[in-house]
Amino acid sequence: MTRRELLALMGAAPRPLLKVAKAAPDAPTAPVAIAKCASYDGDVTATLATMFDQIGGLERIVKGKTVTIKLNLTGSPGLRLKGRPLGVTHYTHPKLVGATAYLMGRAGAKRIRFVESGWALSGPLEEYMLDSGWNVRSIAGAAPNVEFENTNNLGKGKRYARFKVPADAYMYPAYDLNHAYEDTDVFVSMAKLKNHETCGVTLSLKNCFGTLPASIYGDDSGPDEPNEKPTTGRSAVGHVGKRQPSRSAPQELHFGVNNDPGYRVPHIVADLAVARPIDLAIIDGVESIAGGEGPWIRSKPLRLVQPGVLIAGRNPVTTDSVATAVMGYNPRAERGTAPFQTCDNTLLLAERHGVGTTDLKRIEVVGVTIAQALYRYEG
């Protein structure tokens, strides 16, 4: 990070007082690519290809491998902000998805599986995508062996895969997820550059909260066994800890101790980052929304924004740290400071788990600089 970038970032941070955590000196780091991309009508594929080259080349990551890509399709496809297409507000854009599939196919990926735990979804993910206005046939045709799977329940699998938090779990000792997260060589989180009501920002780390199947972690999950036809979100189990997940899955370690969503969700997300590591983070900031994660948010006014950037990296914490800085925030800000006014900082929690560094001085930024990409989400 250059001095100029640092100064720009400091200028972007809320004033006058910053509560900033100390850096973890030994947390891993990895380069992060930032590219300007003014619109989805531009050459998204070429831009993305350059970015992948800048972080070490896509072939090295995916050749001959099964790749699972977790999308961000949060909230019902029927809920739209001012009637706008979902991809320009709070969903990852289908053109970015198609471009990623194409490039991965070209780089020799053996199988590409797009996954998401769609809101209240028990049917096929393809239909959810069609309801979102996506051309599923076109994405499926972008590369050989493209698949789609709804991970809100068992999906096409026969059993759930258990992912243990290696040590010092914050919330749960392990998580039961759809098989797709296990039956893969490479796990990609493709997120949107957005604020989040509960977590301050939602980027590649927070996107993976959506790996939790509502069949087990949903409000209407079975008390003992999963409910394979979930119809709700994960508020009771995940956000407020009013109940435990289905007993078939590992139970919360300190149930009833903390019911604050601003504590719980960031800690669960940080746990997931070590239980199911992310191999590649891609963040869609071409067009998005500021103020919250979707049109159902009422606590702050939502704004359509056009940051015009794409961000990608091999380490989700370094990538999210850079993305947070691009949004005009300090990625090391502690609770009480924007964007983490009412929540713990997921990035710091993941850093403490040893996933990656949040220290911008230790993160190599390639492509355009943070200062050049800076787009203030706060007012």
Partner 1 sequence: MFFALLLTLAAPTDWVPARWRWLETKTLDLLSGTPVNCLLIDWNAQQKTEAAAFAGAAMARGVSTLAVIRPGGDPAEPARDAIRAKFTGVVLEGDFSKDVTERVKAAVAPAPLIELTLRSRMRLASKEPVIGTYQGVWPGIPVMEDGAAKAGPSGSPWINTNAGFLRAARAFGPSTIWIANLPPPKNVITADNYEQVIADAAMVGARWVIALDDDLARRMHEGDKAGLQVWGRITRQLQFYEGHRDWRAFRPYGKLAVIQGVEGGALLSGGILDMIGARHTPVRAVPPESLRTETLAGTSMAVDVDAAALTPEQREVLKAFTRSGGTLLTGPADWKESGATKPGQITLGDEETKRLDDIWHDINAMIGRGNLGVRLFNVSSMLSNLLVAPDGKQELVHLVNYSNYPVESVTVHALGEFHKAYLYTPEAPEKKLEVYKVDEGTGVDIDVVNVSATIRLE
The residues binding partner 1 (CB under 8 A) are 76-80, 82-85, 119-120, 123, 127, 130-137, 295, 298
Question: Least distance (Å) from partner 1 to the CB of residue 83?
Answer: 3
Question: Least distance (Å) from partner 1 to the CB of residue 216?
Answer: 21
Contact 148, 136 (CB under 8 A): yes
By beta-carbon proximity to partner 1, the closer residue of 135 and 259 is: 135
Contact 329, 360 (CB under 8 A): no
Q: Which of 288, 270, 372, 287 is nearest to 322 (CA)?
A: 372
Q: Sign of dihedral through CA atoms 42, 48, 50, 54?
A: positive
By beta-carbon proximity to partner 1, the closer residue of 136 and 305 is: 136
Question: Least distance (Å) from partner 1 to the CB of residue 113?
Answer: 20
Q: Which of 233, 231, 271 is nearest to 252 (CA)?
A: 271
By beta-carbon proximity to partner 1, the closer residue of 83 and 379 is: 83
Question: Least distance (Å) from partner 1 to the CB of residue 128?
Answer: 9
By beta-carbon proximity to partner 1, the closer residue of 84 and 352 is: 84
By beta-carbon proximity to partner 1, the closer residue of 75 and 245 is: 75
Rounded CA separation 141/139 (Å): 5
Contacts of 177 (CB under 8 A, 6+ apart): 151, 160, 161, 163, 211, 212, 213, 276
Question: Least distance (Å) from partner 1 to the CB of residue 156?
Answer: 15
Residue written as tokens 């053109």?
A: 95
Q: Which of 102, 43, 30, 37 is nearest to 69 (CA)?
A: 102
By beta-carbon proximity to partner 1, the closer residue of 141 and 277 is: 141
Question: Least distance (Å) from partner 1 to the CB of residue 125?
Answer: 12
Question: Least distance (Å) from partner 1 to the CB of residue 169?
Answer: 33
Question: Least distance (Å) from partner 1 to the CB of residue 86?
Answer: 9
By beta-carbon proximity to partner 1, the closer residue of 127 and 260 is: 127
By beta-carbon proximity to partner 1, the closer residue of 130 and 366 is: 130
